[in-house]
Amino acid sequence: MIINVLTMQDINNISIDDRKIDLEEKEAVVKSIIDDVKNNKNEALFRYTKQFDKFDINETNMAVSADEFEEAVNSIPQNEKEIIKYAKNRIEKFHKKAKQQSFLTEEDGIILGVRVTPVQSCGLYVPGGKAAYPSTALMTIIPAKAAGVEDIAIVTPTQNQKANPYVLYAAWLCGVGKVYKVGGAQAVAAFAYSTESINKVDVIAGPGNIYVALAKKLVFGDVSIDSIAGPSEIMIVADKNADVDFAAHDLLSQAEHDELAGCYFVGLDKDLTKKVEKRFYELAQNTQRNSITKESSKHAKFFYTDSLEIAAKLVDMVAPEHLELQLEDAYSFMNMFKNAGAIFLGHYTPEPIGDYIAGPNHTLPTNHTARFASPLSCDAFMKKSSIIHYSKKAFLESAKYASQFAKLEGLFAHKSSIEVRVDKDR
């Protein structure tokens, strides 16, 4: 049912999200797995892999061997390799350009700056069980490589005791040879605390199911993480010039990910909104993944407003992972809101183009966290150090201010650290 949002007051009376995710019981399960791996290391990791993935794993078969890499690379048709290479080159080009640089500034004998350096190691989670995503392998490996991380390891669950060949090809293409055939919360725990076979890392990145997401949440602080990924989301803002089929299919592209996927449509034309809603529900019943889309479509929200200001307010409230602007003047509208993970402008920029080949990362903030979070980038694998250098002259000119500030806060050793230098110069 279309929700009419005609005034700002109406916004206060609408429900943006009715998806229900019960995390308490799952979080308790994940915590017990993490504690077990932390205490029992390989033994626990192997036990959970056998329990959940039906893979009798051990020290000799957990890591992907050179022969397994070779088999995977040789099994992929050349035309499919070219597709993955094309995506790799575009993603690599974007992330290299987006990498932050160190800098220094100098003024009156004071040198200030920021030194940007990569972390030493990272662990990447790449889904690989029932659904395998070589695109996610590219989207996690490439920013880590571009950042300059030297030690990159991948965990990926198996199907029939084998790592997905497309994931292995993507890893091989990017020059990453350390891949472990484990997944789930237990793999995250191994990266966070180490086992006899897997080393502790500085950063864990990459999407996974709810158990992986909760594990990343629980180990954060002992290691850094990129984000806590939730179900996928898409929002479309469209005017009367939008194509009904384009919009409906784009909503469906995210609805097929997960039963809890969030689909939002904001129409600036009521007739268009009705047609998109009708077409979307028709499509959701008849997809190849309709066991998922029938469920996720129940959570879809369709809004109508004739106000760009109200449409922008709805965008900021939802803070969607993916935002499509099928508008006559999309660039002007983009200046009216702040919250979105990735913004797709125009009628020929569907969200899936960003999933695979555009270049910016498809690992994005979900669950309305685009209010404060950003897409995965080199930043997740880098850290900053402040650089401060005072000449003697610059120090003496400003020392009294620092000394007085220390006194104001009652930190007299701080004050003495400054004044001992001033006294030496007298």
Point out the residues that are catalytic: 321-322
Give the 3-state secondary structure percentages of the chain, helix then strand then coil, rounded to 5. Answer: 50, 20, 35
Write the CB contacts of 331 (distance below 8 Å, at least 6 apart in sequence): 345
Pairing of strands 110-118, 103-107: antiparallel
Taken in order 188, 194, 195, 199, is the CA torsion positive or negative? positive
Q: Is residue 107 helix, strand or coil?
A: strand
- 77 exposure class (CB count in 10 Å sphere: 0-12, 13-18, 19+): exposed
- Measured CA angle at 361 (ends 353, 222), to 5 deg: 150
How many angstroms from the chain centroid is the CA of residue 351? 15
Sheet arrangement for strand 103-107: 103-107, 110-118, 382-390
Taken in order 72, 74, 77, 82, is the CA torsion positive or negative? positive
Write the CB contacts of 117 (distance below 8 Å, at least 6 apart in sequence): 148, 382, 383, 384, 385
Helix (H) or strand (E) holding 271: helix 270-284
